[in-house]
Amino acid sequence: MNRIKLTLMSAAVSAVVACSAAAQPKTIEDGVYTVEQAEAGQPLFEQRCSACHNADFYRGTLSNRNNQPLAYLFEEILVTMPADMPGSLMDAEYESILAHILQITGFPAGDAPLDYAGGTMHTVNIVPPKD
């Protein structure tokens, strides 16, 4: 009887640990864009953003949004930028620009591209860049 209780308790603890590990949200440190996506965003960033914004600006922006979903920053960029024509780019262009921003602020690339419509940005939290 004790062996059964011990086995059941062990299984329950394992399940709780597995659930809590699965519940840990991804962060922008987990490689949430591809190198190709960031490279596609570089010329767009240079044409549309770099006159007013640089890596230091976005380091502050990311630090001020600690633990917020990446989707919030994407939505802010989508509806406010470029300043002279907000919302004038395609979603994929905004995604590429955001990937480039993550790259120039020191966050690693991964295997899957940023995808706003697919909902992945809602499950990724912002963390401050490392100095």
Is the pTM value of this prediction over 0.85?
no
Question: Contact at 8 Å (CB) between 70 and 99?
Answer: no
pLDDT band at residue 10 using 50, 70 and 90 as cut-offs: very low
- The secondary element (H helix, E strand) that includes residue 124 is strand 124-125
Joined together, the tokens standing for residue 8 give 């059941």
Mean pLDDT of 69-98: 96
The average pLDDT across 107-116 equals 96
pLDDT at 5: 46
Write down all domains in the chain, each with its CATH number in brackets: 26-125 (1.10.760)
As a whole number of angstroms, the distance between CA 46 and CA 70 comes to 22
Q: CA–CA separation, 95 vs 101, rounded Å?
A: 10
pLDDT at 63: 92
Look at residue 17 in the predicted model and tell me its pLDDT.
Answer: 42
pLDDT value of residue 3: 53
Token digits of residue 110: 């991964």
